[in-house]
Structure 1
Amino acid sequence: MKYARISQVAHYAPRQVITNDDLAEIMDTSDEWISSRTGIKKRHLAYDESTSDLATKVAEKLLTKADLSADELDFIIVATITPDSLMPSTAARVQANIGAKKAFAFDMTAACSGFVFALSMGEKLIASGTYQKGLIIGSETLSKVVDWTDRGTAVLFGDGAGGVLLESAQMQYFLAEKQGTDGSRGEKLTSGFLGLSSPFAQETPDQKYLAMDGRAIFDFAIRDVAQSISETIEASHLEVEDIDYFLLHQANERILNKMAKKLGVSRNKIPANMMEYGNTSAASIPILLSECVEQGIINLNGNQTILLSGFGGGLTWGTLIVTI
């Protein structure tokens, strides 16, 4: 039986930081309005870097930390909804940037659940026994799909990337998982619609910008995602008290507060960093994981049990319980 483990973590964010006060200069909003409703105080926005640039920085950090050559990688998966292009994939660009000539690479599109979906996929690749090492990266430049005249969405999102190195292991580190999709509610959160434009079709317009029914997404997170988390814990044969930390998608501080009450866990077990980054979609969980390791909250010694849960467009949700 083959197993996989998270052996290294890393994150990267653009140097440019935009505060709520900065946003108040270009739209009808304020620091109090944004922070009281979301917990967000600032966000990093790309100035001259693309999604693949951010992901490449993370990949380079992971290789350096592990003292690995890029030639030792078997695969690279990048979770993103803001690729540089539809082809080549963002992962292929990263593969070229770091010189990982032996690795196959592809993108995973599952919005804010993307990193969890990709991590689950990477674990299965290693568990197959065919592959030994791979990078799982969440990377986003959401600033390019936000309508900067819409304060309802523009204040929420930021750019950044985070990721992990997965390696083969001799014992089980991935304990349980549950993933789901409900396409019937997909129109509640949309982005990047490409219309028909050929001379042989009825022309339909592109809808580039992100659009969201905030109340519907809030209710979805509190109801469906909380249930998914509870079901995953039950499937793991653990108790809620056995989970050391819950690393949840960083969409809104109110959601985290509601989740804590619904799950019956201390809010101290649910770290947050959306106040510094905003919602970075597929990058939010790996950025948070990397920061928690950097700050000594989580270690990589294999003695902590961590729950990762992402939720967002699709609608999608995914939960993993891992020993780290």
Structure 2
Amino acid sequence: MGSRLVAMGHYQPSRVLTNDELARMVDTSDEWIRDRVGIASRRIADTETVADMATAAAGKALANSGLTPADIDMLVVATCSSVDRSPNVACRVAAKLGMAAPAAYDLNTACSGFSYALGTVDHALSAGAARNAIVIGAEKLSDFTDWTDRSTCIIFGDGAGAAVVTATTEGEPSGVGPVVWGSVPAKSDAVRIEGWRAYIQQEGQAVFRWATTELAPLALQACERAGVAPEEIAAFVPHQANTRIIDGIVKRLGMPNAIVAKDLVESGNTSAASVPLALSKLVERREVPSGAPVLLFGFGGGLTYAGQVVRCP
């Protein structure tokens, strides 16, 4: 047995924070931000919580799937920005959606979180531990952003993306390929949110060098394990860190036919939400045919990475 994605959904707050607005807050400019990270705007949540945004995205994915809350027996939320230790975000989402008794847990590997969560759910469904699951990436990074630090406040945004995943039937090919995941513990301090009232801190150059030099071979491993040649990939959805990192990885992948997601231009870096948010928009705009192979690859805090090839819902 295996699993497959059957529907996507996403949510972003209504408030848009532009580069020009940021330039009135810190010493920066629209031109400098676009050149440095490729971001034009980002969405910022006001009263909405991580659980609120996760619920909205999951509700849309559920509606698109044709399933009901009663059909879902597993719910996983990838996030690094929930301010509450307990109850976890997953249980709050399950309660808001009216689910009865799903297995519900949060997972924190920061920006690689959605692919990590999808990997664990795929394993559970393949083993028969659940039948239908929702996997969510949701972040409210604005709660942890130092709005006086121009090196970080230009980067991050808020939002959520979700996927409904179901177990495949006997004889049906799996729509979620084997996960390639791992970490670099020696560089764990490169991206940090430490303490009780913390701001995001990162060693930008260290992350950039790691991402542009070491991740492409790992992404290609995900293609190899799924039995899909790079030239067959219809879309590449990496973590939306910045355009320079994305371009550096793409240059080494050899995927001439792939659409490359760059949702960060309008959404900023939304950590664990970035991959499902970008994929959901591609599906919504019908830019990728249903059933086409899509390479997902998340990377970031930890340092951690995870990726897999999925069939587009």
- Above 0.5 in TM-score? yes
Identity %: 36
Could you tell which deviates more after superposition, 78-87 or 255-264? 255-264
Shift of 1:58: 1.0
Is 1:312 matched with 2:311? no
| CA–CA distance in structure 1, aligned partners of residues 219 and 265 of structure 2 | 24
- Preserved contact between residue 44 and residue 157 of structure 2 (Cα < 8 Å): yes
- Preserved contact between residue 178 and residue 308 of structure 2 (Cα < 8 Å): yes
Residues 86-107 of structure 1 show CA distances to partners (whole Å, capped at 9, x for unaligned) of: 1111111111111111212110
| CA–CA distance in structure 1, aligned partners of residues 222 and 265 of structure 2 | 28
Q: How many residues align?
A: 309
- Preserved contact between residue 126 and residue 167 of structure 1 (Cα < 8 Å): yes
Is 1:3 matched with 2:5? no
Shift of 1:220: 1.0
Residues 184-219 of structure 1 show CA distances to partners (whole Å, capped at 9, x for unaligned) of: 10011111x23xxxxxxxxxxx56111001111111
- What's the secondary structure of 1:36's corresponding residue? helix
Residues 249-270 of structure 1 show CA distances to partners (whole Å, capped at 9, x for unaligned) of: 1111111111121112348631
| CA–CA distance in structure 2, aligned partners of residues 271 and 154 of structure 1 | 22
| CA–CA distance in structure 2, aligned partners of residues 176 and 122 of structure 1 | 12
5+ residue gaps, structure 2, are none
**Residue number in structure 1 paired with 2:243:** 253
| CA–CA distance in structure 2, aligned partners of residues 21 and 312 of structure 1 | 27
**Residue number in structure 1 paired with 2:178:** 176
- What's the secondary structure of 1:87's corresponding residue? coil
Shift of 1:138: 0.2
- Preserved contact between residue 176 and residue 322 of structure 1 (Cα < 8 Å): no
Residues 220-258 of structure 1 show CA distances to partners (whole Å, capped at 9, x for unaligned) of: 111221121122223333321121111111111111111
Shift of 1:323: 2.0
Matched residue type, 2:9: A
Shift of 1:175: 2.6
Equivalent of 2:254 in 264, 267, 274 = 264
Is 1:323 matched with 2:282? no
**Residue number in structure 1 paired with 2:223:** 233
Matched residue type, 1:253: T
**Residue number in structure 1 paired with 2:264:** 274
With the length of structure 1 as denominator, give the TM-score of the two structures. 0.92
Matched residue type, 1:186: S
- What's the secondary structure of 2:241's corresponding residue? coil
Shift of 1:29: 0.6
Residues 46-73 of structure 1 show CA distances to partners (whole Å, capped at 9, x for unaligned) of: 0110100000101211222223221211
| CA–CA distance in structure 2, aligned partners of residues 28 and 141 of structure 1 | 24
Matched residue type, 1:187: D
| CA–CA distance in structure 1, aligned partners of residues 311 and 61 of structure 2 | 19
- What's the secondary structure of 1:57's corresponding residue? helix
- What's the secondary structure of 1:53's corresponding residue? helix
**Residue number in structure 1 paired with 2:132:** 133
With the length of structure 2 as denominator, give the TM-score of the two structures. 0.95
1:190-229 → structure 2 map (5 Å cutoff): 190-191=192-193, 193-194=194-195, 206=196, 208-229=198-219
| CA–CA distance in structure 2, aligned partners of residues 177 and 121 of structure 1 | 9
| CA–CA distance in structure 2, aligned partners of residues 51 and 69 of structure 1 | 22
Q: 1:69 to 1:239 in 2, by over 3 A?
A: closer
| CA–CA distance in structure 1, aligned partners of residues 37 and 61 of structure 2 | 31
| CA–CA distance in structure 2, aligned partners of residues 17 and 207 of structure 1 | 25
- Preserved contact between residue 232 and residue 319 of structure 1 (Cα < 8 Å): yes
- Preserved contact between residue 294 and residue 309 of structure 2 (Cα < 8 Å): yes
- Preserved contact between residue 260 and residue 266 of structure 1 (Cα < 8 Å): no
RMSD: 1.4
Could you tell which deviates more after superposition, 99-108 or 5-14? 99-108
5+ residue gaps, structure 1, are 195-205
| CA–CA distance in structure 2, aligned partners of residues 48 and 289 of structure 1 | 26
**Residue number in structure 1 paired with 2:82:** 83
